[in-house]
């Protein structure tokens, strides 16, 4: 699998777990199976996520 495809899976998993604004949600990283978290801002609705295992991360 291409690296870009793995990060798309990570992004999709992170966005799917968000249920509200300004709360951190934990999820299993689809890349490494480690612990990851995501937060959605209420001011601009952007997401920020990171994995403690493999270091995958994104900020919109």
For the stretch 12-57, pLDDT in tens is 999 999 999 999 999 999 999 999 999 999 999 999 999 999 999 9
Cα–Cα distance between 15 and 46 in angstroms, integer?
10
Residue 38 half-sphere exposure, CB side, CA atoms within 13 Å?
Answer: 23
Cα–Cα distance between 8 and 3 in angstroms, integer?
9
pLDDT of residue 39: 95
Do residues 51 and 36 make contact, with C-beta atoms less than 8 angstroms apart?
Answer: yes
Token pair recorded at residue 40: 């959605």
pLDDT of residue 3: 86
Q: Is the pLDDT of residue 11 over 80?
A: yes
pLDDT of residue 38: 98
pLDDT of residue 57: 95
Q: Is the pLDDT of residue 1 over 80?
A: no
> How far is Cα of residue 38 from the mean position of the Cα atoms in its chain?
5
């Amino acid at each position: 699998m291409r690296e870009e495809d793995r990060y798309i899976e990570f992004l999709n998993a992170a966005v799917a777990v968000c249920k509200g604004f300004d709360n951190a949600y934990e999820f299993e990283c689809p890349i490494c199976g480690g612990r990851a978290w995501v937060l959605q801002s209420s001011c601009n609705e952007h997401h920020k996520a990171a994995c403690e295992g493999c270091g995958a991360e994104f900020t919109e």
